[in-house]
Amino acid sequence: MTELRAAIIQDDASGRVLMLGWMDDEALALTRSSGLVHFYSRSRQKLWRKGETSGNELRVIEVILDCDEDAVLVRVEPTGPTCHDGSTSCFTPWLWRRILQRDLSNAPDSYVVATLRAGTARAARKVGEEAVELAVASLAESDERVIEEAADLWFHTLLLLRSRGLDPAALEDELRRRERD
């Protein structure tokens, strides 16, 4: 059996962990020599290059082996989403992943699908409604109601981002940029 090492893939610009894959010696050598990340697929028992079908490659910035060389950190510049579901990272928060799954399902009875198909204006109206409801609840209602309304606002804000084709990871990037300013 091929000895595998865990490969942690990290966005060089943001520091965000994008995914975890597995590398044998050949995948590691190809990653270093080609400048593109390669993995060993445990399920298919073969080498593969990230992006070979999707086009979303991971360009190598730096490869760092840990102290006993059984794990590797690969700092990369991604050329698109890293996760197979279209997310920036495979470590995407639960709610965003559910929104993506529902959108891609195209289920006719899905609230997410109906809201997204109605367009950005509908999503924006819902964000406005939920923001007002949260403000009112925070002034006159129970903590439980405040949490319920905050959840509604958060959910509809994510729907608005999806309607615009934006990934919530961009929010983190913007807040990090502001912290540095």
Q: Where are the domains of the chain?
A: 5-78, 94-180
Across the chain, mean pLDDT equals 95
CB 60 within 8 A of CB 35: yes
CA 149, 173, 123 angle in degrees (round to 5)?
40
CB 20 within 8 A of CB 9: yes
Of the chain, the percentage scoring pLDDT greater than 90 comes to 87
Round to whole Å and give the CA distance between 131 and 124. 11
Helices (H), 57-119: 94-105, 111-118
Round to whole Å and give the CA distance between 177 and 162. 22
pLDDT at 180: 85
> What's the topology of domain 5-78?
Ubiquitin-like (UB roll) (3.10.20)
171 pLDDT more than 60: yes
- Residue 112 three-state SS: helix
- What CATH superfamily classification does 94-180 receive? MazG-like (1.10.287.1080)
Q: Where are the beta strands (DSSP E) in 53-140?
A: 58-65, 71-78
**Closest C-alpha among 21, 15, 20 to residue 61:** 15
Q: What is the mean pLDDT of residues 105-125?
A: 96
CA 157, 14, 17 angle in degrees (round to 5)?
85
**Residue type for 143, please?**
D
pLDDT at 2: 64
pLDDT at 137: 98
pTM: predicted TM-score of the whole model, two decimal places:
0.77
37 pLDDT more than 90: yes
Q: Which residues contact 113 (CB under 8 A, 6 or more apart)?
A: 102, 103, 105, 106, 107
pLDDT bucket at 173, cuts 50 / 70 / 90: confident
Q: What is the mean pLDDT of residues 111-117?
A: 97
pLDDT bucket at 114, cuts 50 / 70 / 90: very high
- Residue 40's CB is within 10 A of a number of other CB atoms, namely 22
- Residue 21's CB is within 10 A of a number of other CB atoms, namely 24
Round to whole Å and give the CA distance between 113 and 100. 10
